[in-house]
Amino acid sequence: MRKVGIIGLGHVGATVAYTLVTEGLVDELVLIDQNEQLALSEEYDLLDAVVNLTNKTKIIIQDYQALADAEVIVFAAGQISALGKAGDRFKELAITSKIVEEVAPKIKASGFEGILVTITNPCDVIAAYMQKLTGFPTNRVLGTGTMLDTARMKQAVGRKLGISSNNVGGYVYGEHGNSQFVAWSTVTVGNRPLLEWNQELDLAGLTEDVKDGGWKSFAGKGYTSYGIATCAARLVRMILNDAKIVIPVSTYSEKMDSYYGQPALIGKDGVEAIVECQLTKEERASLESSVEIIKQGLAKLPLNAAK
């Protein structure tokens, strides 16, 4: 039996739930939100959808104890309106850190032994904070991190070259936020280095296109949902299927003593290995700067909150 929990049923959490149900990825789905009426409404709406699907999913709501035998929990609680027009993800931290302080002990008390995937902003700080407060091993707590930003990079490169983004490889590193950067030394097209395809590419302009892609998704709606929910659903699928696939997620690096977006091997045990890429001197400096921002955010939080 494949069982997944989702905590936080806003735009993203609800879209993750819908994706898992319609794709038939789970047999049981546990939905939890601070707004019980919202959880009830999502349950009934999803059950209406199940009627027209070939697969059937059992929905359980507002029950932390039901998480005990779940294989994955997706933590998507937050308040996107706190970002403001500038889209500063750190503006959510005062709110989302309090939610973690409330939820982490409940997850731990449930007896949950699976993999915890966090989406909540600021993603890297929240993933680190959730790991600290649950006490779970670092491989079992990961954030979606730069997975979405890497998708935006592939889309930007594909659009620029007039090819499918599926042909583009490589990674965005660091914070899921303003200090992220494209490690252009890792970017390939059809397994060839990007600049072998086109040496005249404006990498600085492409970098701005990558960052701008997120704000274009956000500006007219006041939130993003489809891209990040698809990332989370793919992570769930990879964990359930023990996929052993390398993707960029927010995970802990002993070398940097921090969570940040980096390529990792994902399987049934969560992060099963970190994949080290040879970054240039400039990229390494960008990574160090980005990690420092994440560390500064985490340093503002009371790490003994769950004690």
Question: What are the catalytic residues?
Answer: 176
Handedness of CA 21, 24, 26, 27 (dihedral sign): positive
- Strands 72-75 and 115-118: what pairing? parallel
